[in-house]
Amino acid sequence: MILFGSSRERRDANDIDIGVTGLAPESFFDFCWELYRDLSKPLDVVDLSKDCLFNRLVEREGVVLYG
């Protein structure tokens, strides 16, 4: 789980951006719902399992929260 975006640097950010990998596809939306329910801000969750430029940037620049 990787934190990226404005919430990585500012506590007053409007939302929380999280990148995840290793989730079974059938568990992805349940995982998102649990985070959304438990966090105090809107949430964007990105699946990092595909190899693309954006995902590599998140992995390189983000803050690893778990994993």
SS3 track for the chain:
CEEECHHHCCCCCCCEEEEECCCCHHHHHHHHHHHHHHCCCCEEEEECCCCCHHHHHHHHHCEECCC
Q: pTM for the whole thing?
A: 0.83
The per-residue pLDDT for 34 is 92
State pLDDT tens for residues 2-38: 999 988 888 788 899 999 999 999 999 999 999 999 9
State pLDDT tens for residues 16-25: 999 999 999 9
Categorise residue 5: left if φ over 0, alpha if ψ from -120 to 50, beta otherwise: left
- Count structural domains, the chain: 1
Task: Determine the structural domain holding residue 27 and report its residue range.
Answer: 2-64
